[in-house]
């Protein structure tokens, strides 16, 4: 049985007619940049996220960048984040001339260890970017309390967590801003790049709207130095269609994860742990095993695709050499990079496929 890590064609088949109709309407309007399609999508997604404001932007990366710009992060400032995340989280900090300060992660949740944040705060610290990795929200109660005590901005990197909640609150509502990505592999994805910033602070929403369009307000009068961070109307139209399916897809991912969990219980394959107060959207179903590379090879020999998110922590990347980190500085993140393996969990998988993947993984350990 062949099991890919993701099958976007299966999702496309379910939305093809509606998506094509929506794209066609945008084409008929010939309004391609920040037109009515973007405004309509922003309204719908703000409601979905339980946020007062939603601002469509060009990518998840630009959502982070424009949120940091709106929070007035400047050269020399320090921003605390996790080393176990996609590059963009820290890349955006460095692109503004600020310094990423990496804090190690929790072995169970893979998210930033909130208990280690306070010791890294200096007089230069301006913000914290927690990442809700693989669809599970970081410990936001502790993180926002620390931020309040030290007067720091909190920008949630929710690129992998749209629809996830903690204590009944959806991500993007804990910090000052929530940053989302609609990259094709994300739980809610466009037909290309796209992103979103959510906020409940009116002044921040206004600043981000201005910054995403070069800083102009009104047209050709520049209040600030922004960029072209606009969301395409075509993407907004597709995303508005797919948004109606998102809860159903996320629920299917949870069911797939529950089936994996039940098969991996009391086995050498350590299943992802979801906190009792968290509802995950399982952007990835990521297990940890010391024999990761051999397991991945064994799965591949059995036609099962898997993926490694991420093979190298950010504090040890060549581009951050000047920050002066060395191997051993953030041991949990370093260990996870050699032990994590993400298994197929996308909504269209059949229970038979999940069972086949899980049984094959156990077969690697001689369990059947
Ligand atoms: C995908 C992702 C991003 C970047 O989003 P793009 O839309 O690809 O620019 C940022 N952070 C995390 C954690 C991501 O997974």
Question: pLDDT tens across 44-89, in order?
Answer: 999 999 999 999 999 999 999 999 999 999 999 999 999 999 999 9
Residue 158 CA, ligand 1 centroid: distance in Å: 9
Residue 160 CA, ligand 1 centroid: distance in Å: 7
At the top level of CATH, which class does the domain 246-364 belong to? alpha beta
pTM over 0.95: yes
Residue 58 CA, ligand 1 centroid: distance in Å: 11
Query: Domain ranges in the chain?
Result: 8-243, 246-364
Which atom in ligand 1 lies closest to the alpha carbon of residue 61? 9
Residue 367 CA, ligand 1 centroid: distance in Å: 37
Residue 301 CA, ligand 1 centroid: distance in Å: 30
Dihedral sign (CA 76, 82, 84, 89)? negative
Q: What is the pLDDT, as a whole number, of residue 298?
A: 98
Q: What is the pLDDT of residues 293-336, one digit of tens each?
A: 999 999 999 999 999 999 999 999 999 999 999 999 999 999 99
Residues touching ligand 1 (Cβ under 6 Å) are 59-61, 85-86, 88-89, 131, 157, 159-160, 181, 183, 193, 195
Q: What is the pLDDT of residues 233-260, one digit of tens each?
A: 999 999 999 999 999 999 999 999 999 9
Checking if the pLDDT of 286 tops 90, the result is yes
Which atom in ligand 1 lies closest to the alpha carbon of residue 160? 15
From 6, 58, 88, 105, the mutation candidate for ligand 1 (largest count of ligand atoms within 8 A of CB) is 88
Q: Secondary structure of the chain in the HEC alphabet?
A: CCECCCCHHHHHHHHHHHHHHHHHHHHHHCCCECCHHHHHHHHHHHHHCCCCEEEEECCHHHHHHHHHHHCCCCCCCEEEECCCCCCHHHHHHHHCCCEEEECCECCCCCCECHHHCHHHCCCCEEEEECECHHHCCCCHHHHHHHHHHHCCEEEEECCCCCCCEECCEECCCCCCEEEEECCCCCCCCCCCCCEEEEECCHHHHHHHHHHCECCECCCCCECCCCCECECEHHHHHHHHHHHHHHHHHHHHHHHHHHHHHHHHCCCCCECCCCCCCEECCCCCEEEECCCHHHHHHHHHHCCECCECCCCCCHHHCHHHHHHCCCCCCCHHHHHHHHHEEEECCCCCCCHHHHHHHHHHHHHHCCCC
**Among the listed residues 32, 59, 89, 37, the one whose alpha carbon sits nearest the alpha carbon of residue 194:** 59
| CA 160 – CA 63 distance, rounded (Å) | 13
Say yes or no: domain 8-243 is CATH 3.40.640.10.
yes
Q: What is the pLDDT of residues 342-364, one digit of tens each?
A: 999 999 999 999 999 999 999 99
């Amino acid at each position: 049985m062949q099991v890919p890590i993701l099958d976007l064609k299966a999702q496309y088949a379910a939305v093809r007619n509606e998506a094509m109709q929506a794209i066609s309407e945008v084409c008929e309007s010939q309004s391609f940049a920040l037109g009515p399609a973007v405004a309509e999508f922003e309204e719908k997604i703000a409601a979905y996220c339980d946020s007062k404001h939603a601002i469509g932007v060009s990518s998840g990366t630009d959502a982070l960048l424009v949120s940091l710009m709106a929070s007035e992060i400047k050269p020399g400032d320090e921003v605390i984040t996790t080393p176990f995340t996609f590059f963009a989280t820290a890349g955006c900090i460095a692109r503004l001339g600020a310094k990423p300060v990496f804090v190690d992660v929790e072995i169970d949740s893979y998210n930033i260890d909130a208990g280690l944040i306070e010791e890294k705060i200096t007089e230069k610290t301006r913000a914290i970017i927690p990442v809700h990795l693989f669809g599970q929200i970081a410990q936001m109660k502790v993180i926002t309390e620390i931020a309040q005590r030290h007067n720091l901005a909190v920008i949630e990197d929710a690129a992998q967590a749209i629809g996830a909640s903690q204590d009944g609150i959806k991500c993007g509502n804990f910090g000052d801003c929530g940053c989302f990505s609609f990259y094709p592999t994300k739980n809610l994805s466009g037909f290309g790049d796209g992103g979103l910033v959510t906020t409940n602070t009116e002044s921040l929403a206004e600043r981000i709207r201005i910054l995403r369009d070069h800083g102009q307000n009104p047209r050709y009068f520049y209040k600030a130095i922004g960029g072209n961070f606009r969301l395409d109307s075509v993407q907004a139209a597709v995303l508005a269609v797919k948004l109606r399916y998102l809860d159903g897809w996320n629920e299917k991912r949870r069911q797939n994860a529950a089936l994996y969990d039940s098969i991996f219980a009391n086995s050498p394959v350590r299943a992802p742990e979801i906190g009792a107060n968290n509802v995950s959207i399982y952007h990835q179903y990521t297990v940890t095993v010391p024999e990761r590379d051999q397991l991945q090879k064994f799965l591949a020999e059995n036609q099962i695709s898997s993926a490694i998110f991420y093979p190298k922590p950010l504090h040890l990347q060549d581009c951050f050499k000047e920050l002066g980190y060395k191997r051993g500085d953030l041991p949990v993140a370093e260990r996870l990079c050699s032990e994590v393996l993400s298994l197929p969990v996308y909504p269209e998988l059949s229970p038979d496929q999940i069972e086949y993947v899980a049984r094959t993984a156990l077969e690697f350990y001689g369990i059947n």
